[in-house]
Every structure is written in C-alpha cells, then in structure tokens.
Structure 1
Amino acid sequence: MVEEIIGLMEQGDLGWTEPVTGAMAPHNPVSGCRYRGANRLRLAWAAGKRGWSDPRFMTYNQAMSEGWHVRRGERGTILEVWKEVLRKDAGREEEGEDERPRRCLCCVGSFTVFNAAQIEGVPELDIEPPADSGLEGICEAVKAAAPCPVREEGIDGKACYVPARDEIRIFDRRCAVSLNMFARVLLHEEVHSTGHSSRLARFEGGCADPFGTEGYAREELVAELGAAFLAAELGLPRSSEHAGEAIDHAAQHASYLSSWASLLKEDGNALFVAAAQADSAADMIARTWRK
C-alpha cells in the first residue's frame, strides 16, 4: 500500500484524500465514530482505488446488527488498532541520556471493515452542505481557528510558522492566486503551529528541525497531510481557476508530499505515524468550526 501511495504522490495524484462527499471524512454509521490517523489514510486510499464515493465503513457484524448484508464475495479493508504508550529506551539509559519515558504509537490489533457500497440495505447517504460555502467566509473561519496569532501581510507569496515567536506569517490573501489556495497554505502553517510545546509538542527541545534533516521532512509530511484532511473537511473545492488555467489542489498536495518520498521509502511506517499526528493536529484546529 505504501509503495502505491508513494507512486501516486510522484504522479501528482492525491485525489483520494478529498472524497466527493466533501466534509464527510471516513466514519462508522453504526458506532458514530470517525476513523482517524493511519486508518483514515487507508480508507481514503481504498475508496479512491475502488471508486467509492460513500465515506461510511463498518464491520460485518455491525452491518448485520442493523439488518444490512455484506454482498457475497466482497473483500473488506483491514484497519489497525493503535495506542499511544510510554517506553523507556534502555540504550539511552546506558549512555546517561534523558531517562524519561518517550511517547510512541504501538499497533495492538486489527479489524476489517466494509464500505457502504459493498453492503445491501444501507440507507442513502444524507449529505448536508457546509453552513458557509463562500470561500471568503471559509478563509475567515480558518484564520479564526489558528492556535496562535496570524500576521497576514506582504506580497511576496511566502508563508511560515515561527516557533520562537509562536506566530504564523502569511502573505496578504489579496495577492493569492485564489482564496482556495490561501486557505490551504494557511491550514498547512496552522498544522505546523500545533507542534508547539504548549499544544501537541512535536518539536524536540521546543524548536522545529532545520531544513534538510529527517525531522524536518517528517514534520512537513504531518503539515501537508493535515492540510489535506482539513481541506476535505471544509469542503474546499478541489480546483481553482487562475488566469484562465485550472489549478488542481489535490495534485499540488501530492507533488509537495512526493518531495519527501525518500523518507517514506526508507521508513514505510513514517507515513502512518505522520497521518496519526496530522489527524490529531487537524482535530485541534477544527474544534472551532465544529462547535
């Protein structure tokens, strides 16, 4: 699966992260739970590969409990159960380094789910459009959801999160090729800001890793996946038009992620760890507009 995803990134194809159901992320209609992290990535990929537009997934027994029936011959998608645990690194203790337990993700089990398109008797999907589908309103909502101050100024097209000042700097939206693009860039930087020590504490020593390091690459994966997740939840259009040309934003997400493909090829688990961290970051940012 990881190899296929890397291939899609290198081809500029990331449309499967933004289902046609817009803000409807993969979820379980029986339990009411939303699939998270690496499982969200697996389901989005499976839906894109199989052409499913329905974001509802459930186990065989859950479908049966509702009086629905999985069609004969259908194959489900295997998901994993992950938990955050505290572990001590024996090697570090011997070297006299920091002996405090470190947080890490551990797979403790698996289960299989089926998409609603594979099940008979499931009611039609009822999709509610976003409360405010205007891009200007969405940009304001995204800016208001930022975990730190946002300085919107300048015409250089640059944007960054500054950990030392805990603030986001982004170009004036009037200079953007589209409001859609502006919102996506801002979402990327907001995901970075969740790494601050006062939030999800992804930065070692309170500072982001410098450009060119493995830590920098891992953080960029988190930020771009988080931005793609949030764009889907907000129902941002997949494309924009600028100077008569269409801009495919899903392809741009893929192109950016492909620049870190070497890390994924060396460490296949990095994609799923990044997806889990991206999902936690997206949750923190999205709480504002979910209220």
Structure 2
Amino acid sequence: MKRDLYADVSARIIAELEAGAAPWVKPWSATPGANTPCNAVSNRPYSGCNVVLLWMAQAAGYRTPRFLTFKQALELGGNVRKGERGTKVYFVKQLAIHEKADDECSTRLVPMMREYCVFNVDQCEGLPHSVTTGKPARVRNPDTRDELADQFLRSTRADIREGHGEAYYVPSRDFISMPAFEAFLGADEFYGVAFHELTHWTGHKSRLDRDLKNRFGSRSYAAEELIAELGAAFLCAEFGFDGDLRHAGYIATWIDLLRADKRAFFTACSQASKAADYLRGLALAEPADVAA
C-alpha cells in the first residue's frame, strides 16, 4: 500500500500538539550558532515544513542545526555513524504529464511529494571541520532593543504603532498595534510578538493576499494564526530570539484543523515561509531605496 506522506507528517505534528508542545517553539534554544536548519554542504536553509521537522530532530540536543544526506557524508570523506537514525524531509517535485485528446497535445504539471533522509552532522564522523561548524552566535542583550531587528522592522515600511494597548493587526486600516517595549519581559517576547503581527500584515490584499476576514474560532482563522505563529518562529530563529507560543489556546483548534485537512500543516508552513521571504525581500530592497 502506498504511504500517504501528508498524513504521516500531519500525524507527527498532531502527536506533538496533543502532548501540549508546539514543535516550532524553542527547539533551538540550546543551540549556539545559526538557528535555522540548513544543508551542511550547500549552506542553503531548509524552508516550509522541513524547518519544523528538523527542529523536532534538534530536540535530541545536537550542537548545530546542520544536516546532510548519507551520500553527501560519503562524498565528503566521512560517514554516518552505525545505528544512527535519520530525519525525513520533504520536497515537492513538479511532474510533467503529457495528455493527448482530439489530436491535441497538452502538458500539465502535477505536484508530487518526495521524501528523503538527512542526518545531523553530530550523527556523522570524519567530516571536514568547515562542514560541521555553523556561524558563531550573535551576541545581544536580551533586556534592550535590538538594533538589527529594529532596522528590519523599519525596512518593511509597515505602519507599526507602539505604546497603544494590545498587540494586533487591523487589515481594514492596515496598521499594527504594539504595546510599548517596556510592557514585555524582554527582547525575545517583544520581537516574537512583532514578527507574529508582521506575518499577519503580509497577508493584506496589496501584498500576499491571504484571506484575513475569518470569523474567530473558525478553521480558516486557526489556519491564519498558525501561519503567523510559524512566520514568527522562522524570523525569531533567524535573528537569534527564543520564540514562544503566542496563544497556547489555539493548540486545540490546530489539532482540529490538521485532523480535518492532512495538507493544512504543509500549506501553513509554505505560507509562513512565503511571508518571511516577502519580509526579507523588503529588507534587502531597503538600501537601494534609500540611495535613490
């Protein structure tokens, strides 16, 4: 019988959520260096659901979130240690289907999910030092504002109004409300919440155009909250902040969402990656805009 990869991954995430843990929260806090999982050979960061799946693997206490395939380890002159178990990651391959009807040929692309196995560099031996070491950790003060993160927030040109009560995003008026920095426990919490609201902000119809008009308590509402949670987690990892679960109360609705739609987690991860990429794009475009 053919395995259902979507159902497999969904079941793993549901099991974590049922145990009361969101698998994208703080799995990297014991890890010095870069927090976003990347391929140890190409240094390319993983994206979408693979980030969360590799964070779950990271809970084993690996020193750095750098992964590679069995074959890549051999090609580098090293090997995976005997008895080590890998972590399955997934990618979607577009399969070209050629169809002929009424003497007319057409080609359509069908997405096919593929899985492959990767190992953390700590599960290997004989690898070159350059492959096993990540970037050094960024030194920062957890009690004060972070200049790099503030620069990132400014570069988005989002209308962020600080010191105005609760944290929320208003799609109809396209602005983000944030309490004052002093109202938070520290930088980790402040930027985690800011990144959550900023991920909602990317969903505006003038940007990535996600449906933001959902009724509180609906599955669509839960899906958008999941996207914002994941987007915040991806950005927190990148800036070296310890992410935290914004609303623990959503866990039950996420379990319901994932049970109802086995692709929901993949979709949310993909949308969160798109949101983070969109924000990075704005940050990268900023210097040129200023120069002009």
**Given the two structures, how large is their TM-score scaled by the length of structure 1?**
0.76
Post-superposition CA distance 1:109-160 (Å, at most 9, x none): 2211111111112324243232755641245234314452111132x3x111
Matched, 1:267 2:267: no
1:3 corresponds to which of 4, 8, 14: 14
Matched, 1:60 2:38: no
Which residue in 1 is equivalent to 2:171? 163
CA distance in 1, matches of 2:152, 2:261: 32
1:69 corresponds to which of 69, 79, 89: 79
**Given the two structures, how large is their TM-score scaled by the length of structure 2?**
0.76
CA distance in 2, matches of 1:63, 1:33: 16
Q: Say if 2:39 and 2:46, in contact at 8 Å, map to a contact too.
A: yes
Q: Relative CO higher for 1 or 2, CA cutoff 8 Å, sep ≥ 6?
A: 1
Which residue in 2 is equivalent to 1:89? none
Matches within 5 A, 1:142-157: 142-146=152-156, 148-154=158-164, 156=165
| Aligned positions, number | 254
CA distance in 2, matches of 1:256, 1:26: 28
Matched, 1:31 2:25: no
Q: Say if 2:168 and 2:178, in contact at 8 Å, map to a contact too.
A: yes
CA distance in 2, matches of 1:12, 1:111: 24
CA distance in 2, matches of 1:198, 1:83: 29
Matched, 1:113 2:122: no
CA distance in 2, matches of 1:201, 1:275: 16
Matched, 1:42 2:53: yes
Structure 2's unaligned 5+ residue stretches are 1-11, 96-109, 288-292
AA partner of residue 120 (structure 1): E
Post-superposition CA distance 1:198-217 (Å, at most 9, x none): 322222xxx43221221111
AA partner of residue 229 (structure 2): E
CA distance in 1, matches of 2:230, 2:123: 27
Matched, 1:78 2:88: yes
In the TM superposition, residue 219 of structure 1 has moved relative to its aligned partner by: 0.2
Structure 1's unaligned 5+ residue stretches are 86-104, 239-248
AA partner of residue 31 (structure 1): S
Which residue in 1 is equivalent to 2:182? 174
Matched, 1:284 2:270: no
Shift of the 110–126 alpha-carbon distance from structure 1 to 2, 3 Å rule, reads closer
RMSD: 2.9
Secondary structure of 2:91 counterpart: strand
2:236 corresponds to which of 221, 231, 240: 231
In the TM superposition, residue 24 of structure 1 has moved relative to its aligned partner by: 2.7
In the TM superposition, residue 269 of structure 1 has moved relative to its aligned partner by: 2.6
CA distance in 2, matches of 1:145, 1:132: 20
Deviating beyond 4 angstroms after TM superposition, the runs of 4 or more aligned structure 1 residues are 131-134
